[in-house]
Amino acid sequence: MTFVIISCDIHDYFYIMTLVILFFNKRWQVITMSILKVYRDVYETGTKHLTIRILIQCMAAFIFSIFLKNGTLFIFTAWELGAIPMSSKMFKKQLVLYYLACLFSIVLSMIVKPVDGNVDVISIFIVVVFTIVGPIVSRSAMQASLRFKLLVSQNKRLEAIIQQNERDRIARDLHDNLGQSFSMITLKAELAKKQVDKNPKAAKAELTDIASASRQNLTTIREIVADLHEKTILQVIVEANKNLMTAGILLVTHDEDITADWPLTIQLAVGAIVNESVTNIIRHSGAQLCEMTFKETSSNYQIFVRDDGDGYEENDQTSFGLKGMAQRAEQINGTLMIENNHGTYVTITVPKESD
């Protein structure tokens, strides 16, 4: 008995508490344990033998309503039916069978025990309403939970893809920018070694070239390291989604995947602007929704960021980091437009010739 209770989900405890009370009545111990097993089997096995188990629960609920004047068990069966993942077609079929079983139980109870003047109309009304809408509400909650889990999984996969793309980009940069240079340094060092005694002047020239190439490589490495501190658009979106979720703001994005092929300089600048926009939304807007749209035409890259918050005062256009956002856009020959209309609309347009 203890194992059954521990293994239950939170929303099952009300159901179990009802049955536990009955368990201490010796006449109901067998049927109570049978119902507990059937109820938990549905969660454990899903749609396997679902029809039979639902009908058993409806029969038990009918018996309880007749002999104990307690029809609340119908409510828990209703919630359970909607909480089991299944296809829409199967759910509709099970829902119809469930409604028919409930209707049959009602008709049979009226025959077995006709209604008298002592009926608790309010309790009956509550049971009937929850019995009818319970499966639908439960299914909606289950689907919302599944969508959330899917979103979390997709974000994790996206993070992994972004990290791998960054590794590939760093590897290409190191190979393209430093690989040939180090090969050249190695050759010049070997040549200088051979000439150091025979032709010191030529050896000195080779060493000078080596020193120059080393300085250039050092500059290249510093540039690569500096780029690592910047974030691409996809990296910004992943981080922004986490921050917005923490603030209770829903993020909706459109076509962000096309940005993976955009030039890195544009990605870094746009990513910084988007990041600042998200910061403003979280800190100042009072919004519930943030929407990002990314577009690419034959001549432009376009980014749209909007929220449904309070907007901003006209005299605040130089605050909230807006000046820095405009400067970032200018660095890539782009334009930044901010509008205040039932929320804030940020539009970034970057010409492709700025590549």
Q: Which pLDDT band, with edges at 50, 70 and 90, does 186 fall under?
A: confident
Give a yes or no: residue 255 inside a domain: yes
The amino acid sitting at 171 is: A
Percent of the chain with pLDDT over 90: 13
CATH number at residue 203: 1.20.5.1930
CATH number at residue 283: 3.30.565.10
Burial zone of 241 (CB within 10 Å; 0-12 exposed, 13-18 middle, 19+ buried): buried
Indicate if the pLDDT at residue 242 is higher than 90.
no
List the single range of 63-67, 316-320, 338-342 with lowest mean pLDDT.
316-320
Q: Rg for the chain (alpha carbons), in Å?
A: 34
Lookup: tokens for 150:
């899917």
Which residue reads 């002047």 in tokens?
201
What pTM did the predictor assign? 0.48
Mean residue pLDDT across the chain: 76
Q: Are residues 281 and 205 part of one domain?
A: no
User: Are 238 and 274 contacting, i.e. CB atoms less than 8 angstroms apart?
Assistant: no
- Bridge partners (DSSP) of residue 251 are 290
Which of residues 4 and 269 earns the better pLDDT score?
269
Q: Are residues 198 and 97 part of one domain?
A: no
Of the ranges 37-46, 47-56, 326-335, the best mean pLDDT one: 326-335
Lookup: tokens for 25:
């009545």
- By three-state DSSP, how is residue 346 classified? strand
Which of residues 233 and 230 earns the better pLDDT score?
233
Indicate if the pLDDT at residue 27 is higher than 80.
no
Give a yes or no: residue 316 inside a domain: yes
Name the domain count of the chain.
Answer: 3
φ/ψ (deg, to 5) at 336: -120, 125
Q: Which residues contact 351 (CB under 8 A, 6 or more apart)?
A: 299, 300, 333, 334
Q: Which pLDDT band, with edges at 50, 70 and 90, does 26 fall under?
A: low
Q: Are residues 237 and 334 part of one domain?
A: yes
Of the three residues 117, 142, 168, the one that is the final residue of a domain is 117
Q: Which pLDDT band, with edges at 50, 70 and 90, does 28 fall under?
A: low
Task: Report how far residue 290's alpha carbon sits from residue 241's, in angstroms, rounded to the nearest whole number.
Answer: 10
Neighbours of 209 (CB within 10 A): 16
Q: Are residues 101 and 40 part of one domain?
A: yes
Q: Which pLDDT band, with edges at 50, 70 and 90, does 31 fall under?
A: low
Q: Are residues 84 and 186 part of one domain?
A: no
Percent of the chain with pLDDT over 70: 74
Indicate if the pLDDT at residue 5 is higher than 50.
no
Q: Are residues 163 and 190 part of one domain?
A: yes
Burial zone of 329 (CB within 10 Å; 0-12 exposed, 13-18 middle, 19+ buried): buried
SS3 letters across 186-228: HHHHHHHHHHHHHCHHHHHHHHHHHHHHHHHHHHHHHHHHHHH
Which of residues 15 and 55 earns the better pLDDT score?
55
Domain region containing 338? 233-351
Indicate if the pLDDT at residue 179 is higher than 80.
no
Which residue reads 């068990």 in tokens?
73
Q: Are residues 309 and 275 part of one domain?
A: yes
Q: Are residues 343 and 243 part of one domain?
A: yes
- Give pLDDT, residue 1: 36
- The predicted-structure confidence for 113-168, as pLDDT tens digits, reads as follows 665 656 566 767 777 787 788 888 888 888 888 888 777 777 777 777 777 777 77
Total residues found in the chain within this entry = 355
- By three-state DSSP, how is residue 264 classified? helix
- Give pLDDT, residue 9: 47
The number of helices, as runs of H, and strands, as runs of E, in the chain is: 12, 5
Give a yes or no: residue 145 inside a domain: no
